Amino acid sequence: MQQNIQMNVQQQTVTQTAAVTQPPVQEQRVRESWKQRRERQNKIKKARKVCPVGNEYTLDISREIKEQEKQRVNAIDLGGVTAERAMAVGADMRMLKVFCNGFNVNQLGLPATQQDQDRMNADTQFLNDYLSGDQERRRPHLDRITQEIISMEFTPEMLTPEYAAKNVAKLDLMTNRMMYFENMMIENRWYFDSLPQLTKDLIAANSRITGIFCQQYLNVLGTHGVNGNLGSIYGYDYSEDSLESIRINAEMGAEIFNESVSTFKRSVAEAYEREAERKLEEYKARLEPGYRTVEEEMESQNDPLAQVKLQSKTPSIYAKEVILKVREMIEQNPEQYRQNKELIDKVYSEYYKCLDLISDLSGELLALQQGVDEYNVRQANRYQTAMTKAFNRMQDRNKARYQLMLARAEALRSIMDHYLKGDEMTATATEVHKEFVTQQGAQQNT
């Protein structure tokens, strides 16, 4: 199941996972009708009766938070959760409540609709499995909850005043689960210690943004006159200075949150790149036997290329060929080599190292392409998409390094051509040549 977390990081529709992970899409503003304007003004008028900063969103925000909390309380009450049951297995009741769906009840105290019945059944199953203390009964729920946490995405728009007001139910659930996930981890170390490294890295990225996200959520709801923890409204008994302080904190917090979103995205990208690097080693290990077979065949056939020994585990035929040509050029021009032996030897040594690295990069590019081919599929899930992007970024970096080293190798070859055959050096070779002339001058002075 833990393997499935890694392979199924995409958002799924499951009974107890709220759809809270997707970043907001900016809504197009439409012209307000007369009826809508009157309704909005009525909401503001009612809110201002109870709150000095009340607006058209204040009462709805308060109601949604309280209703959602009541739904979760219903799950605990009808699920038969007691302090004694929780204490028996060292479970935090607040945490259990947060990870329930919650549901509405009718006047008889029973689920109000079939959907509520389904949600109650799922919640009861979760609570009974968790409170059993049995690891295997807990495991599928921990899988689901962990996947929800690591699938969360963040954008600066999520905590703008208007978006937060219109999506308070989602954000309330999201912040609560983020805050209490740490408790879940503490109570289930056996599970979280055994997770794949990528999952651990994604959890860590979420943990780092949790405090800032949750605090800014409270700040933003405070600007609407609502206590985000309780759903209560800041009344006229609440000082103007305190309300002004909330507004200032929300403004300052927005910049901090925006920075934390950038950090979060960077952390997630880096986590997937580390995963891609681990996969890369596997792909390279698969390639290496083929290279060894080619080496053995060349030796058995007395191929001259077999004389060129590279440190790389993925020795390039191209690298062997050009090195062999330089050796032949030296043998064909013994007098010119003797006259410039010290400099040519240094350039040749650098040339050899350069082509050894080119062989490494060539092998890595082949391995990286295997990664792209494996994960770049139709209808890719979130994990596959992220891995493809990680492999693509690594490919781009390696291609740039490959081209850089190839250009340097060509410049080094041009220097040797100049000293051995009298050819004119390329512009790049002229610049690289200065490195070796400087080295020689420094050694002579020493």
Within a 10 A sphere around the Cβ of 240, how many other Cβ atoms? 10
Measured distance CA(135)–CA(133) in Å, rounded: 6
What is residue 308's three-state secondary structure? coil
**Residue-level pLDDT at 17:** 45
Q: Are 66 and 231 in contact (CB under 8 A)?
A: yes
Phi first, then psi, for residue 337 (nearest 5°) are -65, -45
Give the tens place of pLDDT for each residue, 224-244: 999 999 999 999 988 888 889
Measured distance CA(244)–CA(257) in Å, rounded: 20
Cα dihedral value 37, 38, 40, 46, nearest 10: 160
Cross-strand pairs, 226:
233
Q: Are 68 and 233 in contact (CB under 8 A)?
A: no
**Residue-level pLDDT at 33:** 84
**Residue-level pLDDT at 12:** 37
Please, which contacts does 379-387 make with residues 24 or more away whose CB atoms are closer than 8 Å? Answer: 381/7, 381/8, 381/9, 381/10, 382/9, 382/10, 382/11, 382/151, 383/6, 383/7, 383/8, 383/9, 383/10, 386/9, 386/268, 386/269, 386/272, 387/272, 387/275, 387/276, 387/279
Output the pTM of the full model: 0.83
**Residue-level pLDDT at 15:** 39
Which residue type does 202 have? Answer: L
Closest by alpha carbon to 221, among 158, 284, 267, 266?
A: 158
The segments of the chain whose pLDDT lies below 70 read 1-30, 439-446
Give the tens place of pLDDT for each residue, 319-364: 999 999 999 999 999 999 999 999 999 999 999 999 999 999 999 9
Measured distance CA(331)–CA(325) in Å, rounded: 10
**Residue-level pLDDT at 408:** 97
